[in-house]
Structure 1
Amino acid sequence: MSEQTRNTVDGQVSTGAIVQAASIGAVHHHTHAAPQQPTAPPVQLPVEAAYFEDRDTERADIARALVQRRGRSDVVRPLVVAVSGIGGVGKSALGLRLAHETYRERGCGALYVDLDDVRREGAVAPGDVLAVLLRGLGVYEPWLAKDFAGRRRQYEQHTTDRELVVVLDNVAYTSEVEPLLPVSSESVAIVISRRRLDGLLGALEVPLGPLPGQAAEGLLHSVLEGTRPAGGPGTVAEIARLCGGLPAALHVAGRYLRTHRRRPPERLVAALRTELDEEGLPVVEAVWDAAYRELSAPAARLYRLLAEHPGPTFTAASAAALLGTTDPDTVYDALGELEDANLVAVWQREGEGDGAAERLRMHDLLRAHAQRRARDDSDPAEAAAAVRRVVRWYRRQLQEADKLLTGSRMRFATAVLPLPYAPDVAFGDRAEAARWMRAEESALYACVHLARGHGERGDPESDADAWGLCESLWTHFKDHQHHAEAIDAFRAGLAAAQRAENLAAQARMRCQLANALWEVGDLAEARTMMDHAVEAAAALPGEPKLRASTLEFRGLLHRAEGDLASAVEQFTASRRIHEEIPNPYGVLLQSYLLGKTLIDQGDPQGAAEELERAHDMAVEQDRERMIGRTAYELARALCRLDAASDDARVGALYERALASARTRGADHDEAAALHALADFAEAGEDETAAAHRARALAIEARAGGVVERG
């Protein structure tokens, strides 16, 4: 049941502005002419929102601050609570909820003023706002000072040592707040703004984001007031997701659902998606348009281009790639404008202090708004050029990260040189490179498809970007096992290589695609891919390393099919080619694969011999990934050799495998090593085994999959 609210005015207030609202967006002022002194604290607040959900964390933080502030005599200044967020996110609803709760709990006065009601041509006259507040405090018109200085003195007099809640809504600038603060340490000023207000001394900042999934669904159910749309809970969940957690959108959607409750769910969702994505939200669209119109030209251009950014988050560097300017200050200034206007928000901070790196995010509904602005205000060629720039920038960063992680492995894509319009990411070490790839994986996969799209429209450089990105994504895919994304991306890479008529790239893409296919059980298509890959490599006699690689992949396919004898033959043939080249890493890799296959074939002695050799080569070549994996498999082989097993060494090898996985950020390998350590410890250290198992299960739960063991 929705919460019942009433619009009440406590006390008799003469010639005061009584704020009433059927909704926060409709504020009316009524003047009462009974010239009597108020007998109770004035309460002049709009009614609370009829539907309210969540915000428990923010409310708890504010409640703690209020408790800590009570009774302080060392400062004559109210507690300032600065609530900020994009239009439609529920700032006013939260601010008013807090105001109502506070005045009810304390029995104090409460005032509200919407600065937009007195804003003219973008500016607010503080004297006009003080007049509204003074009327609310019981100052009658004949005694109201005529100028700002006089009204400020009156306001100070009426608020000194008085307990009040003052709500200042739609504040645009910090300078608008200071003259309106009550002169009392027992008071609270709730400042609501679309932008973060720097310079509010001692303020408790409450940045407000969209509602999380369950809370968004809860609000939508409240708005529905018992109405059951066709499709039931599934329809509600889907529409709540489409609304992106914005209360303003959820209210619109709820009304839409109530009006069309008998419409089939698929039509409801499709129609609402069109309304949200194409026509815009009537409640917040005007707010977003107003914020957009206030931006400088570079900031407005960046806002439009961010709609094309691959992936859900971005950095200053990737924003620079979109904008395409050689002046870094232009990018930072533009981002600052967008953040201050709450058109983008900090999503994550990495590190501490001034050197902390920030990852930013544009809400999905704002992205749709930016797309509409781009359609109206810019040439389509502008967005296309920006996409090509940012894709090329991501390809260069991925190329450099991949080289840092895997060294001089076989690559066919031409290296991308430093780009003049955006800085490179500074990877301090392999761990940083791995973390960057993990943080950017959505953007990287998205870049493949963006490049493919431009390639399909006749841009050969974009085709090279598409399959070049896939080539560099290979190690990351193996470490993190996102099969659906990888299969789609590698298909796109293969199509790009075919358009380019590049046989080497085609063989490479087919191998990568086949691997992803057989790992999800599609052995038939994987065989077809491998047949074509081997054929393409055989047609390139000048590429022995590629031929050896295709044999390796065929051996891996045989392993997946359970044909271990054929797998051993393929790995042996591949190693022979690597020895002839010579290619030490290829020899290491095939020795590792041979050892792993021999374990499964029931030959732990032969496996241990191959893996001892492989592990020594991995250490000698400083191959962190292979050090970890050969350590893991060698430990497995030694465990099968009961008579020759060395418990201390087996444990050390598993620990080394675990350390390697954590260094690389490879959660799949980390969980496997933890399971192995748990199995190994179960014989005599149950608590240790349980701890390892719990950590492994936590990783699996977080990743949403089950790690294969053994």
Structure 2
Amino acid sequence: MSEETRNTVDGQVSAGAIVQAASIGAVHHHVHAAPAESAAPVVRLPVEAPFFEDRETERESVERALGRWRERSGVVRPLVVAVSGMGGVGKSALGLRLAHEAHRERGCHALYVDLDDHRKDGAVDPSDVLAVLLGDLGVHEPWRAKDPAGRRGQYAERTAGRRLVVVLDNAAYGSEVEPLLPVSTDSVAIVISRRRLADLPGALEVPLGPLPGEAAEGLLRSLLDDTPLASGQDTVAEIARMCGGLPAALHVAGRYLRTHRRRPAERLIAALRTELDEEGLPVVEAVWDAAYRELSAPAARLYRLLASHPGPSFTDASAAALLGAEDPDAAYDALTELEGASLVTVWDRDAEPDPDGATGAAQERLRMHDLLRAHAQRRARQDGEPEEAAARARVVRWYRRQAERADELVAGSRMRFALPVPPLPYAPDVPFRSKTEAAHWMTAERAALHSCVHLAHQAGGPEGDTDAWSLCEPLWTHFMDHRHYADAIDAFRAGLASAQRAEHLAAQARLRCQLARALWETGDLAAARNEVDQAVRSAAALEGEPRLRASTLEFRGLLRREEGDWAGAVEQFAASRRIHEEIGNAYGVLLQTYLLGKTLLDQGEPRRAAELLARAHDMAGLQGRTRMLGRTAYELARALRRTDEGGSGRVHALYERALESARERGADRDEAEALHALADLAEQTGDREAAHTRRAQARAIEARAGAVGAEG
């Protein structure tokens, strides 16, 4: 199946429960009227920490700053609150509390992004982050600009004059924050960072240190929840001191004390003192070591292996894939034990409704605090974890199988070269009940899937390289619905390198085309041309792969269109169509005929275009291709209007057919285009009332979808 045919199912991931200190994981524009606020504000914030102590001074300073900011005028910039401090000190807990308080006061949209989820080689591509923020603001994928400048302008328009709360977690530099700030004086941006961001001018700096003694003791007592200790409450002060006032350590210690409430706490204190005095370990290391030593062997092994998990969060099933036990219940029991010890925490419980309105089973996601992940890595080095490479291979293979299953649901039958991964005995499959659930899973696991491509490529060998390039097949479908360019280019390049090592020419040709698409959409036409030309040569050298040869020619034609080389595009589409005719691929013939007609129309040959588009329209009807029926109707109507043939009645009927098709598919961009075309036609025939109605309907869709320049 061609790349032009795909299902678009958009999914969003909302965050869930965390604990205090958990790791939550110059634009030129024309400002139009801000879109009307929706009746139900979008809230993407994780829930607040269940236990919170102190920080009153910091919260009061932010409240005073908000008051002063409301009185300012003439500066189009949000109030930026920069919360900074060492890992485990409670930055995210405070930042989220501030965000929830601001949201409750203002009743506005509240958005959250963990920049570490978008970090590659130490840098964040703001274009990919803007895609997430634009999606949360209601801008559907077909309406999002493809280039970085376009997305910045779209974000500026979408946020201008609005009340928003935006949380940017794990920021490393002020320069990666600036493009993500709402263009609004009425908004608040809360930036959370491990260090002070000196290059973020005008921010209200809120540096955090460890909790003072009384506050640390108060948090620990809250965590104990009135649990009676055999040694009495005097032990709390000593444990709090040993935790150094770090909430992350206090949570682990609190759960340890609750679990062993009948055990004399002096034993824990003595063990900590011994390690501190004799080993010279950091304070919190001793607390985590004590919790780690209490784990059963399977739980301790899973703890060590979770440090290698490819994604920022994980599920029961992906943890089972890491552990690789014959009985998956062993993984569930081990994970329950880790959660009970506060070494992992619930991050999200998310249920995506299916198309019939029923709610699927909640998919619980968990995370490991960055400090605990580092501790697990140290324990793996100290205790020895010989199965780390095997565990990574297992979890990569599990992710590949789930992605292939999701892709089959979302994209249906299309050209694939990887042999599907069979069921895996050590981990269960994700239960996909619909295209929506499958697409939602791909969105939720995007970071893990891209990481798996690199893990497989780094592992190398026949299995690693096959996994790397095979994972790029389902990631292609996801990319076509979610344009995260930096991630896609990075993954396709790694997959291509693995396909080259594996000497799989078909996969190389396919990946070069996919990489080229991402490159030309980001403006790198020269690099895209190089990849496409090599893909065409590779496919031509293969025997028995005519569909691949036709596909590479189609990609070359699409690139020629992007370059404005209409004659070159026509030549490539015609060559691709001949191959499809030879092998009897009816849909391929339909698609290339459509592309030929559309390109000839753009080239200024409406009569030749109308002839081809009429044939494509008939083929779409015979094949039952609803999407292509609508698109061929729209383009044929355009061609007929330019030839003055067919009469306004036929043109009107074709535009109505295109409109009906768009509405059936929920394709709001195609719907808006058809409405504008009908409005133009009504104006041409003197029906001003119909023109006004159609134009208003189209503009309402554009305003709702976030089109650049749309007025609310």
Query: What TM-score do the two structures reach when normalised by structure 2?
Result: 0.56
Q: Corresponding residue for 2:34? A: none
Cα deviation code 1:195-234 (max 9, x no counterpart): xxxxxxxxxxxxxxxx94499999999999xxx9682536
Q: Corresponding residue for 1:511? A: 513
Match 1:441 to one of 436, 440, 446: 446
Q: Corresponding residue for 1:168? A: none
**In 2 relative to 1, CA 510–47 (structure 1 residues): closer, same or farther, beyond 3 Å?**
closer
Structure 2 residue 57 is the aligned partner of structure 1 residue 50: yes
Tell me the CA shift for residue 525 of structure 1: 1.4
Report the 3-state secondary structure (helix = DSSP H, G, I; strand = E; otherwise coil) of the residue aligned with 1:314.
coil
Q: Structure 2: how far apart are the matches of 1:50 and 1:502?
A: 62
Larger Rg: 1
Structure 2 residue 355 is the aligned partner of structure 1 residue 349: no
Q: Is the 8 A contact 1:449 1:489 kept in 2?
A: yes
Amino acid at match of 2:307: A
Report the 3-state secondary structure (helix = DSSP H, G, I; strand = E; otherwise coil) of the residue aligned with 1:527.
helix
Query: What does 1:519-530 align with in structure 2 at a 5 Å threshold?
Result: 519-530=521-532
Cα deviation code 1:478-531 (max 9, x no counterpart): 222222221111111111111111222211111111222122121111222122
Q: Corresponding residue for 2:124? A: none
Structure 2 residue 308 is the aligned partner of structure 1 residue 308: yes
Q: Corresponding residue for 1:482? A: 484
Tell me the CA shift for residue 562 of structure 1: 0.6
Query: What does 1:280-679 align with in structure 2 at a 5 Å threshold?
Result: 284-285=248-249, 287-288=251-252, 289=288, 292=292, 295-340=295-340, 343-351=344-352, 356-362=361-367, 365=370, 368-369=373-374, 371-376=376-381, 379-455=384-460, 459-615=461-617, 617-618=619-620, 630=632, 633=635, 637=639, 643-644=647-648, 645-647=650-652, 649-660=654-665, 662=666, 670-671=668-669, 673-674=671-672, 676-677=674-675
Amino acid at match of 2:441: W
Amino acid at match of 2:394: R
Q: Is the 8 A contact 1:398 1:437 kept in 2?
A: yes
Q: Is the 8 A contact 2:513 2:531 kept in 1?
A: yes
Q: Structure 1: how far apart are the matches of 2:192 and 2:549?
A: 63
Amino acid at match of 1:693: R
Amino acid at match of 1:231: A
Cα deviation code 1:320-357 (max 9, x no counterpart): 22222343333333444444555222424215899522
**In 2 relative to 1, CA 314–413 (structure 1 residues): closer, same or farther, beyond 3 Å?**
same
Tell me the CA shift for residue 609 of structure 1: 4.4
Q: Is the 8 A contact 1:302 1:322 kept in 2?
A: yes
Q: Structure 1: how far apart are the matches of 2:209 and 2:293?
A: 21
Q: Aligned-residue CA RMSD in angstroms?
A: 4.7
Q: Is the 8 A contact 2:500 2:508 kept in 1?
A: yes
Cα deviation code 1:19-76 (max 9, x no counterpart): xxxxx9xxxxxxxxxxxxxxxxxxxx998743337999xxxxxxxxxxxxxxxxxxxx
Q: Is the 8 A contact 1:395 1:465 kept in 2?
A: yes
Tell me the CA shift for residue 426 of structure 1: 3.1
Q: Structure 1: how far apart are the matches of 2:625 and 2:702?
A: 24
Identical residues among aligned pairs (%): 54
**In 2 relative to 1, CA 651–53 (structure 1 residues): closer, same or farther, beyond 3 Å?**
farther
Query: What does 1:46-85 align with in structure 2 at a 5 Å threshold?
Result: 49-52=56-59
**In 2 relative to 1, CA 599–404 (structure 1 residues): closer, same or farther, beyond 3 Å?**
farther
Q: Is the 8 A contact 2:465 2:501 kept in 1?
A: yes
Q: 5+ unaligned residues in a row in structure 1: which ranges?
A: 1-23, 25-44, 57-85, 96-210, 253-278, 663-668
Q: Is the 8 A contact 1:53 1:219 kept in 2?
A: no
Amino acid at match of 2:399: Y
Q: Corresponding residue for 2:198? A: 231
Q: Specify which structure has the bigger relative contact order, considering alpha-carbon pairs within 8 angstroms and separated by 6 or more residues.
A: 2
Q: Structure 2: how far apart are the matches of 1:527 and 1:605?
A: 30
Query: What does 1:1-16 align with in structure 2 at a 5 Å threshold?
Result: none
Q: Structure 2: how far apart are the matches of 1:376 and 1:512?
A: 39
Amino acid at match of 1:344: T
Q: Structure 2: how far apart are the matches of 1:512 and 1:220?
A: 37
Query: Which segments of structure 1 move beyond 6 Å, counting only runs of 4 or more?
Result: 45-48, 53-56, 89-95, 214-224, 247-252
Q: Is the 8 A contact 1:451 1:465 kept in 2?
A: yes
Report the 3-state secondary structure (helix = DSSP H, G, I; strand = E; otherwise coil) of the residue aligned with 2:365.
strand
**In 2 relative to 1, CA 635–368 (structure 1 residues): closer, same or farther, beyond 3 Å?**
farther
Q: Is the 8 A contact 1:306 1:367 kept in 2?
A: no
Q: Structure 2: how far apart are the matches of 1:223 and 1:467?
A: 35
Q: Is the 8 A contact 1:672 1:707 kept in 2?
A: no
**In 2 relative to 1, CA 412–650 (structure 1 residues): closer, same or farther, beyond 3 Å?**
same
Q: 5+ unaligned residues in a row in structure 2: which ranges?
A: 1-19, 21-51, 64-87, 98-165, 175-187, 214-242, 253-287, 684-689
Q: Is the 8 A contact 1:452 1:493 kept in 2?
A: yes
Q: Structure 1: how far apart are the matches of 2:375 and 2:637?
A: 55
Q: Is the 8 A contact 1:556 1:567 kept in 2?
A: yes
What number of residue pairs does the alignment pair up? 474
**In 2 relative to 1, CA 93–595 (structure 1 residues): closer, same or farther, beyond 3 Å?**
closer
Q: Structure 1: how far apart are the matches of 2:92 and 2:555?
A: 54
**In 2 relative to 1, CA 291–686 (structure 1 residues): closer, same or farther, beyond 3 Å?**
farther
Tell me the CA shift for residue 679 of structure 1: 5.9
Query: What TM-score do the two structures reach when normalised by structure 1?
Result: 0.56
